[in-house]
Every structure is written in C-alpha cells, then in structure tokens.
A and B are shown apart, each in its own frame.
Chain A
Amino acid sequence: MEQDVQVLYNVFHEPPLGFWIALYFYMTGLSAGSFILSTLSYGFGLKKYKPIGFIGVVLATVLLVLAPLNLIIDLGRPERFWHLFPYLNVRSPVTWGSFLLTIYPINCLIYAYFMRKKNDRMTKIFGLIGIPLAISVHGYTGFILALSKARALWNTAVMPILFLVSAMVSGIALMILVVQIRKLFAPPGARATYDAILVDLGRILAASILADLFLIFSDVLVLFTADTEAREAAIMILSLDFSPLFLGVEVFLGSLVPLAILALPQLNKRPGWLSLAAACVMLGILAMRYIMVIGGQHLPLS
C-alpha cells in the first residue's frame, strides 16, 4: 500500500569515505594488476613476458608507496596513523590492510632487487611470495566494503572478487599504455617483441573485461531481487544519480567500447587503437571505484 508520506525532519551525517578512498582503491588495484603481470615471466617462467617483468614491479611499487598517502590524507587525525599498529584490532579489515600495505611494498623491493641482480632463483621465490600478497592487498579493500554491513551496495559476497577482477583489468590496461611508451625507447630490433606482448596483453584484457562484466551483471541482478535497500541501490546506479557514470562510463566506455576494439581484427593490432582501448578501460575502472565508494554511501541510512 502506498501512502502520502513526507519526511519533515531528519539528520544525515556527511558520507564518511570520500574521493581519496576511491583513488586509493584504484591505485592498489593498478599495483596488484601490474605485479601479477610482472610475475608471468619471473614467477611462472613465461619467457616471452620478460621485457615487462621489471616495468611491472616498478609500477607496482611506486603505486603502492603512493596509495597509502591517500589514506593518511583522508584521516581526521593524520598524525595518529601509527595507532594502527600498537592498538590493532585483528577483526577489522583496516588492520589487515595496515600490515599488507607494509609487507607488500617491501616484498616488491626485494623482488625487484633480485631481478636486477639477475638472481633468477631468488626472483622467482619472491615473485611467488608476492602473488598472494598482491591478491590480498587488493582483495582486502573489497572486504573493507563488503564487511561494512550498513550499505547495500557494498555488503555483497561478490565485492572482493569483483575488486580483484577489476584490478586485473585496470592493471593490464596500464601495462599496455606503459609498454607503448617503452617501445618508443627500444632499439628498432626489439620493437617486434613488444608488439607481440601487446597483442597478448590485448587478449588477456578482453578476457578480463568479460569476467568483470559478468560479475557486474551478477551483482546488479542479485541486488535487484534482494531487500528494499539493495533494490534502491541497484536502481540508483541503473537509472538515477549514478547512471551516467555506471552505464555511460563504466559499462559502455570502459567495457563495451574497449571490448569492441579488441574484438575487431582490423583494430586490435594497431597501437593507437590499442592505447585508446586501454585508456577507456582505465577511465572505466576509475568510474567503478568512484561509484562503489561514493555511490555506496549515497542512499541515506536514517
């Protein structure tokens, strides 16, 4: 039964997590994706990908050193950030993060050091240690949202895996752009190897985008059939405040357009088009982080 209802007075507090947090999720995602690509040759012995091994770990380290700065800027009392260690709470995903964000960059540096020293055995060991760390350092951010039970858009089991797959998507796209630049500085004889890697990266990117689209579809479909708040959240991203970002940027520009470019044989080997697809993907995933963090808090709770 519908009634004439009007809320005359209510209090809403400012949404706690802002753009800095969305940017932080974006950067850890890029870092984890880059690291996984780096281990293709040094961890799993796929020699073909050796040229991107070092690029990957440099990207992973730089992004992961910068990412926590977003978190510290976002704190109400930034000078107290060290409280996270002595007063830790093992049940809180934020505490898991404070340790992962410390260990992961250190592992990245050791891995890069042995790679530079051409010590293949040690590189492999630290590369393989790094894989679960990379998965955790981004996967835990999915748990940060999933375990905040207040918000319907976050409190789903698909969130951590959605974050991991989108991290892979954005990491590959970043790698494509960086490899294009790296190719410009390579001796003419070596460019063919980079071109071959680019074609492969394009294929992995297309497969990851498909996986990401499936997870988004699954998420929205289940939100629609769950409780009232979940339904409101689904409607919000499909048709109201966040639909231009969700349907326009994340799904169309960030997934369908790159997928079309990567599927067309006339386009998917041309560097310009490949870069365009990668740039679209990076924009789409940034939109996804923004929708998840800001959009997730858009619906009032009181």
Chain B
Amino acid sequence: MATRWAMVVDLRRCIGCHACQVACKAEMGTPLGVYRNWVKVVQKGRYPNVSLSFLPSFCNHCENPICVRNCPTQATYRREDGIVMQDPHRCIGCKYCMASCPYDVRFLDPLKGIVQKCTWCHHRLDVGLEPACVNACPTRALIFGDLGDPESEVAQVLARNAVQVLKPEKDTLPHVFYIGADMVAMRTYGGAEAREVEVDWVRWFLAKIGLLRPRAPVRE
C-alpha cells in the first residue's frame, strides 16, 4: 500500500508537559503568538475528585481537507502521502483556509504575511526522521507512522484500540486519532463557557416558544 502518514495520540500516556509544543517552536522557528501545535489543558471536577485532561492539538491532515478545497491559489494541497502542505511562495494570505478550518490550526505568519501550519515536519520525514514533536515526547504518547504499512506501530495501535477524532461531524476525515480523550477537552468550549441567554425579555420569549434549554441544576 502507498504511504499514508498518520498519528495516534495516546492520552493515557500524556503527562501534559508541553514538550511537543516547545519542540515544534524550536524546530520551525514559529513567530511569537502563533502556534503550529499546542496542548490544550482542561481541569474538571472538584477537590478531591478532580483531574486534568490534555489535548495535544495539531493539523489533522484530513483526508477530505476543507482548506484544500477552498484555497483559491492551490497554495494548500495534499501530498500523495496524506500531508496537507502549504506552499509559501504561492500563498497570497487571503486567509480563507483559516476561515474554513474547523480546528483553528492555521495562522497568518506575522512576519511573512502568509498562512502557515503544521506539515508533520515534512522536511524531516523526507530524510527518514520523525516529526519534532514525536521525537520530543518523553512518554511516547505521540505515535507516528505509515498507516499503509500494517507492520507499523501506528497501524497496529489504531487497529487494537478504541480511537476518536476531533469534530467527526465536519466530514473532514482527520488523521490524528486520539485514545482516551476526555469529552470536555474535545468540546470546543471545554464545557466551561456554555452560554445561556442573558437578556431577560429574550429569555422570556424563548421560554414561551419552547426553545430554552433547561439550566444546569444549582449545586450547593
């Protein structure tokens, strides 16, 4: 089978050290204020029943990438091996790909005026090295490899575990798979900012026509 790169993030092993984030910044020289990857950290529960959940976030290198579909200059394209690339010479910085991406993993390079993203360190892959984040992960929570090769670790881990992807309803077919991801960490709002209607007369009206969601029970 042809090479198809994929990543599995085993959150049972992740300790939230942010080493992947730091390694990426160091490898790519990403400017201040923007990130090719990051580790979302969510705390839930109350003492003594409390836990932290982590969600290392990267480009999902989708099989059906909306950014590639919407890029007007073909600056964003999919390589044969599944990597979603960004051509720095072609990109005009229209930011339509950023507007289309459901994962907010693209950013406008403040120095170059073009859109940049995670490319799974294609420059390292092409010389036989693994991506910098995978290389830096101390607990081997990031498993990277060729899905086309049934002998690869990533293919075997994927076959043996229950996995999920981010926002599967967007039909982008992500190729970053998560094992043991927490629901609140995967949710856009982390459940923390669940908003409710605050204008009184709007709330009254919505209640009348039955569109108001029941409020969370009050805890003592």
Minimum CB–CB distance for B49 against chain A, Å? 10
Kindly list chain B residues whose C-beta atoms are within 8 Å of the C-beta of A89: 69, 71-74
Minimum CB–CB distance for B52 against chain A, Å? 8
Kindly list chain B residues whose C-beta atoms are within 8 Å of the C-beta of A243: 199, 202
CA of A93 to CA of B94 in the docked complex: distance in angstroms? 12
Q: Are A149 and B102 in contact (CB under 8 A)?
A: yes
Kindly list chain B residues whose C-beta atoms are within 8 Å of the C-beta of A44: none
Kindly list chain A residues whose C-beta atoms are within 8 Å of the C-beta of B203: 239
Given A76-B93, A95-B72, A150-B101, A5-B43 contact (CB < 8 Å): yes
B136 in contact (CB, < 8 A): no
CA of A243 to CA of B165 in the docked complex: distance in angstroms? 34
Q: Are A7 and B99 in contact (CB under 8 A)?
A: no
A185 in contact (CB, < 8 A): no
Q: What are 9 A-B contacts defined by CB distance under 8 Å?
A: A10-B38, A13-B108, A83-B73, A88-B74, A89-B69, A92-B71, A93-B70, A150-B170, A239-B202
B66 in contact (CB, < 8 A): yes
CA of A240 to CA of B213 in the docked complex: distance in angstroms? 16
B188 in contact (CB, < 8 A): yes
CA of A231 to CA of B189 in the docked complex: distance in angstroms? 12
| One of A8, A11, A77, A239 near B57 (C-beta < 8 A) | A11
Kindly list chain B residues whose C-beta atoms are within 8 Å of the C-beta of A16: 95-96, 98-99, 108
Using a Cβ–Cβ cut-off of 8 Å, how many residues does chain A contribute to the interface with B?
59
Minimum CB–CB distance for A68 against chain B, Å? 12
- Other than the given A80-B93, A239-B202, 9 more pairs (CB < 8 A) read A3-B44, A10-B40, A13-B104, A74-B95, A83-B73, A87-B75, A91-B70, A238-B197, A239-B198
Minimum CB–CB distance for B184 against chain A, Å? 5
Interface residues of A, Cβ cutoff 8 Å to B: 2-14, 16-17, 71, 74-77, 80-81, 83-84, 87-89, 91-95, 98, 144, 147-151, 221, 224-225, 227-229, 231-232, 235-236, 238-240, 243, 247, 297, 299-302
Interface residues of B, Cβ cutoff 8 Å to A: 34-35, 38-46, 52, 57, 66, 69-75, 90-96, 98-109, 112-115, 169-172, 184, 187-199, 202-203, 206, 211, 213, 216-217
Q: Are A148 and B199 in contact (CB under 8 A)?
A: no
Minimum CB–CB distance for A235 against chain B, Å? 5
Kindly list chain A residues whose C-beta atoms are within 8 Å of the C-beta of B41: 7-10
Kindly list chain A residues whose C-beta atoms are within 8 Å of the C-beta of B195: 232, 235-236, 240
Q: Are A76 and B115 in contact (CB under 8 A)?
A: yes
CA of A83 to CA of B96 in the docked complex: distance in angstroms? 14
CA of A302 to CA of B102 in the docked complex: distance in angstroms? 8
Given A7-B40, A80-B92, A94-B96, A240-B66 contact (CB < 8 Å): no
Kindly list chain A residues whose C-beta atoms are within 8 Å of the C-beta of B109: 76
